[in-house]
A = this chain, B = another copy of it.
Amino acid sequence: MNATTKPILRALAGEAVWPPPAWMMRQAGRHLPEYKATRAEAGSFLALATTPELAAEVTLQPVRRYGMDGAILFSDILMVPWALGQKFWMEDGEGPRLEPIQDIAALSRLDVTRVRGAAQCIFDTVSITRNALDEAGSRTTMLGFAGSPFTVACYMVEGRGGSDFAFTRHLAYTDPAFFGRLIRILTDATVDYLLGQVEAGAEALMLFDSWSGLLSPSQFRRWVIEPTANIRRAVAQTAPHIPMIGFPRLAGSLFGDYASRTGMQGLAMDTHMDPRWAAQQVAPTQALQGNLDPLALIAGGTTLETEARMLLSSMRGRPYIFNLGHGIEKETPIEHVMSLLRLVRGG
């Protein structure tokens, strides 16, 4: 009954497509020489992410080289704070930085009405990429994405990456009014940002929650599951045909709660998650995605083969999208990716 023949969309509609469709998180990135060339041409990460022709080019590179079933928009989860008007810059050798938001005055300067306009360059990237796929008659699905409100809030409050975001988690306990307001702003902005991508041609959407595994169960339900369910509902109201994939990294014991309460069509598993256990936590129609260890992909050989075969056999017979459990590492040999994809496509 699926009008579409795109394998990822069929899996997200609950079909046990086999061999499974495949793509890899961070597939457009530094493990590819063609990416490095375009990145050098752009001059900076921000220039690359905000110049639609170049961003579309790197989005398409892994599709051309590997025939990936998903083309994930080349962008960054911090594009939403940037579009909200938070000061954003790249620190040499340190990655992205934001001017920290820790009081109501700073919070009040964020402007949700700005997001659609400011993010136009991102939507243009989606349009260009989707058109290129359509013109080639590709079965590759155009995937849009955003960071989850909690994960993005961690960066917005602390102004930089970190390993535990204790300051933000403490703030969420001691000033839930402030933190709740930030989460609501981010929820609204994320809905706008995702719907802009849908209008531009995104066929499915992924929500990345990199840091939610740090929260206590009650905080996880309040700051992760609830806003994610709100985003899912708001997107579905305007775009009921667009499936979503949630990635609650390190959710562990709370993975099933997340799956049932958010109603995501797809659930991405991190490297550590037991796929057989995960399959028991989600509805039979909810697709699972993941979770080969990126380090097994670097290792290659029989290690890679053994890990991949175990994963595939645990997912056979249910809706599933092959992926890694974390972004592909820059040291990954291209031949390893090729041989992994041959194995996956062999079924």
Name A's B-contacting residues (CB within 8 A): 163, 166, 169-170, 173-174, 213-220, 250-255, 257, 271-275, 277-278, 291-293, 295-296, 298-299, 303, 306-307, 310, 325, 329
Contact = CB atoms under 8 A, between A and B. Distances in A.
What 6 A-B pairs are tightest by C-beta distance, nearest first?
A: A252-B252, A173-B299, A216-B293, A163-B163, A253-B274, A253-B277
A271 B329 CA distance: 29
A218 B310 contact: yes
A20 to B, nearest CB: 18
A292 B217 CA distance: 10
B213 A250 contact: yes
Given A216-B307, A216-B325, A272-B217, A253 B255 contact: yes
Given A299-B170, A303-B174, A293 B219 contact: yes
A177 to B, nearest CB: 13
- Oligomeric state, in copies: 2
B218 A307 contact: yes
B214 A272 contact: yes
A238 to B, nearest CB: 33
Given A163-B163, A174-B299, A253-B253, A274 B169 contact: no
B173 A217 contact: no
A179 to B, nearest CB: 12
A306 B217 CA distance: 12
A274 B303 contact: no
Contacts of A306: 218
B296 A278 contact: no
B253 A295 contact: no
Contacts of A217: 272-275
A220, A250, A295 — most chain B CB neighbours (10 Å):
A295
A296 B216 contact: yes
Contacts of A291: 216
A4 B70 CA distance: 61
Given A173-B303, A218-B307, A307-B218, A274 B254 contact: yes
A252 B169 CA distance: 20
